[in-house]
Amino acid sequence: MYKNIKDSIIKVKTIIIRCVKWFFGIIGVMAFILWILSFTDVPFNAYHHLGTVNADLSKNPDIIAVLSGSGMPSPDGLIRIYYATEAAFEYPDASIIIAFPISKEDSLHQLDLMANEMILKGIDSTRIQYESEGFNTYSQAMNIASLFSNKDTLSLMIITTPEHMYRSVKTFEKAGFTDVGGSPCFEKPIEEDLLKDKEKRKDLRVKNLDVRYNMWSYLNYELLVMREYCAILYYKVKGWI
């Protein structure tokens, strides 16, 4: 009997070792594929697609909803406020809602920082209101929708990161808005010509941007896109989009 137990343990160990090898083998193959793709335009095209596939509005927005992301001060929060301010100037009749989750113990400090940044740039403070109860995109969309009894007649523009735009639009449509689009907060990088040494001069400019900059940026795009596709799948399973 002892021999049978020992043989069973050995078999289990063998199966576990094989599974671990397969797991890390698959991870290695996936990592290699992602590394190869980082030298192509595939990651950016996927990232760009998420930001623009359903971002168009049929008319000028009645509401500009700023989904505040990481809050203030942060690069994420600042770029959203930058785009929100541009949209507010372009559509002066639109009301502005800044959505950021806070607990009952917190003050409105984060929301005030975002609003004040827009006010400093010339946006009328009376146009700005807060949504502070939502803790994710779905709850923020539902809370904002509850503010308007005629939401099916209103046009809503979402300000958020590009990878988050597709899910945000679909979520607000699920909440009852029928005309939803957005302004994806794409970064505006330095022109490559300013960084790259095209004339083979012996200075400090980069000779090849692919390894020094582009590969790392595209690897980051891959992570953002994969994480967002997982979130989209989760929202579909939950029935939120």
Question: Residues 63, 154: contact at Cβ < 8 Å?
Answer: yes
pLDDT of residue 11: 81
pLDDT of residue 210: 65
Give strand pairing partners of 157.
Answer: 64, 181
- Collapsing DSSP to helix, strand or coil, 67 comes out as strand
Query: How far is the C-alpha of 166 from the C-alpha of 52, rounded, in Å?
Result: 8
Positive or negative CA dihedral for 234, 237, 240, 241?
Answer: positive
pLDDT of residue 212: 66
Q: Which of 82, 240, 113, 94 minimizes the C-alpha distance to 181?
A: 94
Instruction: Domains for the chain: give ranges and CATH numbers.
Output: 58-189 (3.40.50.620)
pLDDT of residue 80: 94
Positive or negative CA dihedral for 34, 35, 39, 44?
Answer: positive
Per-residue pLDDT of the chain (241 residues; tens, 9 = 90+): 555 666 677 787 888 888 998 998 999 999 999 999 998 999 999 999 999 998 999 899 999 999 977 878 888 899 999 999 999 999 999 999 999 988 766 677 888 999 999 999 999 999 999 999 999 999 999 999 999 999 999 999 999 999 999 999 999 999 999 999 999 999 887 666 666 665 665 555 556 666 667 888 899 999 999 999 999 999 999 999 9
